[in-house]
Structure 1
Amino acid sequence: MNLPELACATEWRSLPFTKTLHAPRAFGARSQQNTATSWSRPARRHRPWTQAEDDLIVTLRSGGWSTPAIVESLAAKGLGVRSYQAVVQRILKTLGPAGKVEIVLQRSRFTHEERVHLMQLKDQGVPLPSMLSIFPGRTEDQIRNCIQSCERRSSNGPFTDAEDKLLAKLREQDQMSWNDIASRVLGRDAYACCGRYRIITPLSARATTRSPRARTAEEVTQIRQLREEGMTFQAIADHTGLTLNSVAGLYYSHTVQDTFPMRRRSHQPFTKEDDVELRELKSAGRTFEAIQKLTGRSVSSLRWRWNALRIQKNSSSADNSSD
């Protein structure tokens, strides 16, 4: 190595690492060529549209064909494969402005005049499919959502006199629940209806619902006798004046209580007799599920007590061996 090359190498080693890393010729001439082409992405070029494709799109679009159907038709005719977005852009940017295809833009919001006209058609009983021809560029979902938004009143707004009268009628005369009343009063939930009823109605005139009283043994016996005679629950309810759910609940609840005997309460502590019985049953090879049916205790309590007895036995045997 001659003196100029030695001096250049010495000066290069004395530079910091960051300067040598970002130097233009740090890693040779190949770095410039790689950096120039590695991050540059070539522009994607689509196949140019032909006159046959444009004519087919205009014909199918005029006939009411959808865009996915047009895409499939282009491929079936052998004119080439086009994506859905490509066909849409061709219609919006080229064929539409040229006047070859009629573009119907779907507005996001209904105007006030459209809302009034829509509610008039709804009151006249015009079906939803017939409204599509009256409102071009709208779908069934848009028309249905607009109708629901017009019928739905803001839940935070004040109650009207008509709503107060309907609320009092449904609660006092029809004796409906708050959930049923909320379904009748549009835009109001059960809590709003209940709060409004308490405001407009004094405490002495409110229609309150009380919990059903406890049935006597004679009434339960009568229900069971009528059921055993072959009467249906609806017939028993009409005969006794009770509701259908009350009759079925009384019959099944007392039948279940009489079928299964009263078992021992599981939270009672284990006695010495219980421990002896548990050891005998486990030594006989019985499972905890079988012991549950015999003793009336739960499987978890039996398993816990059995583990406690085993630990107690192991600790006592360890003490005896240490002595």
Structure 2
Amino acid sequence: MLQSLQQQGKDWPEIAATMQRSASATRTRFLRLRQMALRQLSPPRSRVPYTAAEDALIVKMRNGGSSWAHIAAVFPGRSVEAIMTHYHGSLRGGHHLNTKSGRTWTPDEIVEAHRLRTDVGMSYAQIADRFGRTYQSISGLFKVYGVPICEVSWRAKRWKPEEDQKLLSLRAQAVPWHIVALQLPGRSIAAARHRLSHAQQLRTRSSSPQAVLQTDTERRSDDEVGSPSLKPDP
């Protein structure tokens, strides 16, 4: 009855007179009833912790301009209020907050974070948004694990002369490192940087007079051994 009277456009004094209650008490009761109705319509709040995938999707949708209602519709069992609270408390502007995600980094996440930092050139803040973590979490990851742990897989792969030549040529043209890495499949920016000085040393050695003389001598020796004699038989 209270809700019906309010929907008819009656003001609070009129409704209160009909209900034989004060206007203040009537209005308070109405707000309470409306809150209870909204709770019944909304899905029950879940106490299950947010997964990394959920965090990433929430950040992606919010950055894309999705409304809270739209985001909540994608997460059955999570209310608009719950998602808003989680976002503002743990995800929004992670580089401005001192909060921690509390989730342990997996090996795959560590490698991917390193790739985004070295190969793609993302900032800590951008990586934090990608993983749904805080700036401090990303910064701490690189402080604890550092770059070398993610570079091990590439160390066993020997550099080919063609790769060295391309590396030297690109850097001679002042091509940015992230473009250089893209031109060298399987090589990160850090790996290319590390290889450059060694490639320069190899080029210097190969172009030195001693190296040229040695190469020429070896070539003549091969010609003498491998070529038939042109002198006529006695």
TM-score range, shorter chain: 0.3 to 0.5
TM-score by length of 1: 0.27
Larger Rg: 1
TM-score by length of 2: 0.35
Structure with greater helix share of residues: 2
